[in-house]
């Protein structure tokens, strides 16, 4: 394995699997991290190795054929790495942001509650598997909500991700079954706004 591809590894969680209960069960967290996220990392490494090999041989059609797998698995790795870091135990969550991020959310959405309602509605309405995000547009200098299918990372729509909600069924089905709105509603109480604000301040 080349040093280039072996740098992609499953990150440790900043808390234990059971720490997000009762919002997300330990069982979901363990499977999501050690099976799903690990799977994206593994397939990303394999696809990048095949790509490097095809590139060495100048095999353009093989390179193009590998791009979908790289997009999907790299997206999965990027998205989940951000997801884990944006969450925290309910006892540590601040409920809503403070400081400049709170001001910017109020400027761009009217109020935190209006942002929350819009985010909730758009997230619940995603068809099939995907993610919803709060992102920062460097070009427009404003906060935006974006919903993307599959594992497409926010960079594909030229936004910097601040936090995302995974609405693949593997993220909630064992606990919430078909009730995606209940899962999305509950996730507000485990967002780490200090971490999210830090990410935004680094981006702006
Ligand atoms: Mn997932």
pLDDT digits (tens, 9 = 90+) for 32-67: 999 999 999 999 999 999 999 999 999 999 999 999
The span from the CA of 151 to the CA of 56, in Å, is 28
Q: Report how far ligand 1's centroid is from the alpha carbon of 172 (Å).
A: 9
The span from the CA of 86 to the CA of 80, in Å, is 10
Q: What is the domain count for the chain?
A: 2
pLDDT digits (tens, 9 = 90+) for 100-111: 999 999 999 999
Residues 77 and 117 in one domain: no
The span from the CA of 11 to the CA of 80, in Å, is 10
Residues 78 and 33 in one domain: yes
Question: Which of 180, 45, 79 is CA-nearest to residue 121?
Answer: 180
Q: Report how far ligand 1's centroid is from the alpha carbon of 166 (Å).
A: 6
Q: Report how far ligand 1's centroid is from the alpha carbon of 103 (Å).
A: 30
The span from the CA of 131 to the CA of 37, in Å, is 14
Q: Report how far ligand 1's centroid is from the alpha carbon of 173 (Å).
A: 11
Residues 139 and 173 in one domain: yes
The two tokens of residue 136 are 């920062």
pTM to 2 decimal places: 0.95
């Amino acid at each position: 394995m080349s040093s280039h591809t072996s740098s992609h590894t499953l990150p440790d969680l900043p808390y234990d699997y059971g720490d997000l209960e009762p919002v997300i069960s330990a069982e979901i967290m363990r499977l999501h991290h050690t099976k799903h996220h690990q799977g994206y990392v593994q397939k990303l490494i394999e696809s990048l190795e095949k790509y490097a090999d095809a590139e060495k041989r100048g095999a353009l059609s093989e390179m193009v054929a590998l791009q979908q797998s790289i997009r999907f698995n790299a997206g999965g790795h990027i998205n989940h790495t951000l997801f884990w870091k944006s969450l925290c135990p309910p006892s540590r969550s601040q409920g809503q942001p403070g400081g400049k991020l709170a001001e910017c959310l109020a400027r761009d959405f009217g109020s935190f509650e209006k942002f929350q309602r819009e985010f909730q509605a758009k997230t619940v309405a995603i068809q099939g598997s995907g993610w919803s995000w709060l992102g920062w547009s460097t070009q427009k200098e404003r906060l935006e909500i974006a919903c993307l299918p599959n594992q497409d990372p926010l960079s594909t729509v030229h936004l910097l991700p601040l936090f995302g909600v995974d609405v693949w069924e593997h993220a909630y089905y064992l606990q919430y079954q078909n009730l995606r709105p209940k899962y999305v509603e509950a996730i507000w109480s485990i967002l780490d706004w200090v971490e999210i604000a830090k990410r935004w301040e680094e981006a702006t």
